Amino acid sequence: MDNNVLRNIPGLIKWATAYLEQNQVIKPRLNAEQLLSHCTGRSRVDLYAYPEWPVTKEISEAFERVVMRRAGHEPLQYITGIKWFRYLELAVDPRVLIPRPETEMLVEKAIETIAKMPGHPLVADIGTGSGCIALSIAKECPAAVVHATDRHKAALEVAKANAERSGLSEIILFHAGDLLDAVPRDLLGKFQAIVSNPPYVSEPEFLSLPSEVREHEPRHSLVSGPSGTEIQLRLMEEAPGWLDEGGWLLIEGGEHQVVELAERAITLGYAHAEVIQDLNAVPRILKMQAA
Ligand SMILES: C[S@@+](CC[C@H](N)C(=O)[O-])C[C@H]1O[C@@H](n2cnc3c(N)ncnc32)[C@H](O)[C@@H]1O
């Protein structure tokens, strides 16, 4: 970095934007602003409103280090350690998938369904990762009793810490284990809703994912198996035993999976199966009602 830009906010943004662009980072200016905001503790708006703020040597060196990491295509959210999801500021690190915008829609549909239920609906989030689904449901549907599971204990630690920092740890129960096997068996047949964003990438598809995803996010949070639908199908088979009569299973899936899985749902004995499209008109969510 040129010494002239060391102590100057506009200069640092300009330098980092050009450097990130050279290294094929998408939206280089936004990334530069977010990284500087992270290093200075000041909002992006303030970076422009108060360009004369002095930048210490420590800050400019810290900024240079994070820009280098980002230029190497490490995900922005692992560098800042933060991902906003609906109304929650979640801590994220390489133990968990970075929550995606598609999953906000899954949560929106789950909340629409759960909010209409009387009493204290029992809800499970299977494969909770950062906890984004379970925590959002617990926050936005305070009457619900939420169970969150993950096969990977390291991911569950992240979800528990996020529940703690969001003031939701008292109202979510966490369990480690494979899909619904993780849940106490006395709850068989009692759930009003099961929600999941399971791994749904096939082994061949994984090889074509951007390096930013493939080399940094946990493979086990993405890959389901040779076809991509293995975990979704297992969950669709297991869920009816855990759902109360008329209970709902909502799962996220890939563009080429959801319609086929909806047909499968009917053969598995679900009463209804509805395909919901995302904002790009891509079939993304499958909402099924147990008979
Ligand atoms: C696609 S990530 C979703 C994480 C989070 N729910 C989200 O939407 O961002 C899938 C999660 O399922 C977990 N997982 C993978 N296989 C599982 C299994 N057989 N049983 C339970 N959890 C599993 C992974 O550890 C990962 O946290």
Mean pLDDT by 10 residues, the chain (291 residues): 70 97 97 98 95 92 97 98 98 98 97 97 98 98 97 98 96 97 98 98 97 97 98 98 97 95 96 94 96 91
Q: How far does CA 149 lie from the centroid of its chain?
A: 14
Q: What is the pLDDT of residue 1?
A: 61
Other C-beta atoms closer than 10 Å to the C-beta of 71 total: 18
Indicate whether 207 and 276 sit together in one domain: yes
Distance (Å, whole) CA 249 – CA 127:
14
Indicate whether 57 and 177 sit together in one domain: no
Q: How far does CA 283 lie from the centroid of its chain?
A: 18
Distance (Å, whole) CA 13 – CA 173:
43
Range of the domain at 180: 93-289
Tokens coding 50: 């108060």
Indicate whether 127 and 245 sit together in one domain: yes
Integer CA distances (angstroms), 286 to 60, 120, 169, 191, 265, in order: 47, 24, 28, 18, 9
Q: Domain of 26: which CATH number?
A: 1.10.8.10
Tokens coding 54: 């002095």
Indicate whether 148 and 257 sit together in one domain: yes
Report yes or no on 80 lying in a domain: no
* Ligand 1 centroid to residue 244 C-alpha, Å: 23
Angle at 290 between CA 288 and CA 291, to 5 degrees: 130
Ligand 1 site, residue 136, Cβ cutoff 6 A: no
CA-nearest residue, atom 6 of ligand 1: 128
Distance (Å, whole) CA 221 – CA 285:
18
Ligand 1 site, residue 272, Cβ cutoff 6 A: no
Ligand 1 site, residue 75, Cβ cutoff 6 A: no
Q: Domain of 219: which CATH number?
A: 3.40.50.150
* Ligand 1 centroid to residue 36 C-alpha, Å: 32
Rg over alpha carbons for the chain, rounded to the nearest Å, is: 21
Report yes or no on 217 lying in a domain: yes
Ligand 1 site, residue 228, Cβ cutoff 6 A: no
Distance (Å, whole) CA 132 – CA 110:
13
Indicate whether 107 and 46 sit together in one domain: no
Question: Ligand 1, residues 97, 175, 200: which to mutate, most atoms within 8 A of Cβ?
Answer: 97
Q: What is the pLDDT of residue 5?
A: 54
Integer CA distances (angstroms), 291 to 85, 157, 191, 196, 232, in order: 32, 35, 13, 19, 19
Q: Which SS3 state, helix, strand or coil, does residue 285 take?
A: strand
Angle at 206 between CA 202 and CA 209, to 5 degrees: 135
Q: Write the pLDDT tens digit of every residue in 172-221.
A: 999 999 999 999 999 999 999 999 999 999 999 999 999 999 999 999 99
Indicate whether 119 and 260 sit together in one domain: yes
* Ligand 1 centroid to residue 27 C-alpha, Å: 28
Q: Write the pLDDT tens digit of every residue in 229-255.
A: 999 999 999 999 999 999 999 999 998
pTM, two decimal places:
0.96
